[in-house]
Homo-oligomer: A and B are copies of this chain.
């Protein structure tokens, strides 16, 4: 199924565009952060936040008094963007220099999540970031759930944009004595730093020692 609409049709460099759900889901699932877009009094705001995808929707969460979540939960239009920087593309000219990346832009309206689905949504967000951790940590209390807002945004109107591969220089520039190629880039995890008050004998969990795929 294509998630293409007139608003999510990529006009610039359409050969980089994808609108199939599988591609969009795979990019969402590889991202740690999204950027939420909202409009207040005509002014756009772009706010970074955690998220999690399940099936054909995305959950975001925050404080119950967050202005961003309140505003979007009231039904104002939302945009949710996830961007993965995969490399710097060094061409022989500035004009053809670029970046390799995967990005997704979702448009739509978010709805507040309440009742038992709220705890489930928090689990989805947690498992999105560190699969396996939710089962180990203390679950949310009623007080914590009341202090937390969760929104759900359908993944129904969306586009992906992907650039891969080497630079594409003008033919005459290939003769220039300029280094050209790709510098791969990736968000990488360092060694886990245990909390000073860690209970003695608690091992580093397996989900922290797996290498990133």
Question: Which A residues lie at the B interface, using CB under 8 A?
Answer: 7, 11-12, 32-33, 35-39, 42-48, 50, 62-63, 65-67, 77-81, 83, 85, 88, 90-95, 97, 99, 101, 103, 105, 107, 122-123, 126, 129-130, 133-134, 136-141, 144, 147-148, 166-167, 169, 173-199, 201-205, 208
User: Do B208 and A194 touch (CB < 8 A)?
Assistant: no
User: Do A180 and B166 touch (CB < 8 A)?
Assistant: no
User: Do A91 and B179 touch (CB < 8 A)?
Assistant: no
Known contacts A46-B37, A88-B129; is-contact A180 B198 (Cβ 8 Å)? yes
A44 surroundings in chain B (CB, below 8 A): 37-39, 44-45, 77-79
Which residue of chain B has the shortest Cβ distance to A129 in the bound complex? B88
User: Do A32 and B85 touch (CB < 8 A)?
Assistant: yes
Stoichiometry, copies per complex: 2
A78 surroundings in chain B (CB, below 8 A): 44
The 6 closest A-B pairs by CB, nearest first: A37-B44, A184-B190, A37-B46, A46-B81, A48-B83, A93-B138
Shortest Cβ distance from residue A136 to the other chain B in the assembled complex, whole angstroms = 5
User: Do B202 and A178 touch (CB < 8 A)?
Assistant: yes
A101 surroundings in chain B (CB, below 8 A): 33, 48
Known contacts A48-B83, A81-B47; is-contact A181 B166 (Cβ 8 Å)? no
Residue from the list B50, B94, B185, B193 in contact with A122, Cβ < 8 A:
B94
User: Do B83 and A33 touch (CB < 8 A)?
Assistant: yes
User: Do B184 and A189 touch (CB < 8 A)?
Assistant: yes
**How far is B93's CA from A72's CA once the two chains are assembled, in angstroms?**
26
Residue from the list B35, B80, B130 in contact with A81, Cβ < 8 A:
B35
**How far is B12's CA from A35's CA once the two chains are assembled, in angstroms?**
17
User: Do A175 and B199 touch (CB < 8 A)?
Assistant: yes
**How far is B178's CA from A201's CA once the two chains are assembled, in angstroms?**
10
**How far is B32's CA from A186's CA once the two chains are assembled, in angstroms?**
12
A139 surroundings in chain B (CB, below 8 A): 93-94
User: Do B136 and A178 touch (CB < 8 A)?
Assistant: yes
Residue from the list B11, B176, B192 in contact with A199, Cβ < 8 A:
B176
